[in-house]
Amino acid sequence: MIQAKICGVRTPDAIAAAVAGGARAIGLVFFPASPRAVDPSFAAELARQVPTGVQVIGLFVDPQNDDLERIVGQVPLDMVQLHGSETPERVADVKSRFGLPVMKAIAIGDAADLERARSFELVADRLLFDAKAPAGVSSLPGGNGLAFDWTLLAGQRWSRPWMLAGGLNPDNVAAAVRASGAQAVDVSSGVEDRPGHKSPAKISAFLAALRSL
Ligand SMILES: O=C(O)c1ccccc1NCC(=O)[C@H](O)[C@H](O)COP(=O)(O)O
């Protein structure tokens, strides 16, 4: 089955639906401006409900070291996701300071953005290709429910595992996988009833669509 990460989870029933449907990772958002943000003590409770074998990934946007230290010390994370304007050097720094693998999110609009992504290929443990945030409309660099041209990824070879994200939902994820060649996908708003409110039914439908591939 294509691997799936359900991002921006804030409730035990969303975790249960993700795990039951075969998700390989859940994402906890530590970006205060997000409607999906969780505080670290609650995040630690949620993380403890995630069974071994399902990764818990902490999402940060241009984090300060003291914020990372506080959260990584409190929440049992398997991986850090950097979703801001972090450089390759900063990715390497976070990896060595905190001893956790790092997934770097890269906003894709055109082929030039894929070339930019190459600079992270040897330093990040995983890459996540997401749509660009709409200029002047959203203050969030991710979780905007927007897709990019999936065919930009077709035929590209990467030395690190990568995930496709951006505007995926139960109705389009199969087409997105076919068009991009993705072996792993990430979803947030496409499995919500409204921003920050995950729908267990939509999570189940999303994962069922992947199982049918
Ligand atoms: O989800 C958020 O609120 C968020 C906030 C700030 C930075 C990144 C954020 N989400 C990142 C993700 O990994 C999302 O799953 C990804 O952007 C796809 O989102 P969507 O298009 O809503 O499925």
Query: What residues does 56 pair with on adjacent strands?
Result: 26
Nearest-angstrom CA–CA distance, 113 and 167: 18
How many H helices and E strands in the chain?
Answer: 7, 10
Nearest-angstrom CA–CA distance, 113 and 10: 31
**What pTM was estimated for this model as a whole?**
0.96
Chain centroid, CA 181 distance in Å: 17
Q: What is the pLDDT along the chain (213 residues), one digit of tens a residue?
A: 899 999 999 999 999 999 999 999 999 999 999 999 999 999 999 999 999 999 999 999 999 999 999 999 999 999 999 999 999 999 999 999 999 999 999 999 999 999 999 999 999 999 999 999 987 766 799 999 999 999 999 999 999 999 999 999 999 999 999 999 999 999 999 999 999 999 999 999 999 999 999
Q: Give me the CATH number covering residue 189.
A: 3.20.20.70
pLDDT of residue 135: 78
Task: Count the domains in the chain.
Answer: 1
pLDDT of residue 137: 67
Instruction: State in Å: Cα 97 to ligand 1 middle.
Output: 25
Q: Is 141 in the pocket of ligand 1 (CB under 6 A)?
A: yes
The domain of 111 spans: 3-211
Q: Is 168 in the pocket of ligand 1 (CB under 6 A)?
A: yes
Q: Is 29 in the pocket of ligand 1 (CB under 6 A)?
A: yes
Positions marked catalytic: 7, 130
The interface predicted TM-score of the complex, written ipTM, equals 0.97
Q: Of 62, 71, 57, whose CA–CA distance to 26 is shortest? A: 57
Sequence-ordered list of residues with C-beta below 8 angstroms from that of 10, at least 6 positions apart, any chain = 36, 38, 46, 196, 198
Question: For a pocket test of ligand 1, which of 106, 162, 188 has the largest count of ligand atoms closer than 8 A to its C-beta?
Answer: 188
Nearest-angstrom CA–CA distance, 4 and 138: 25
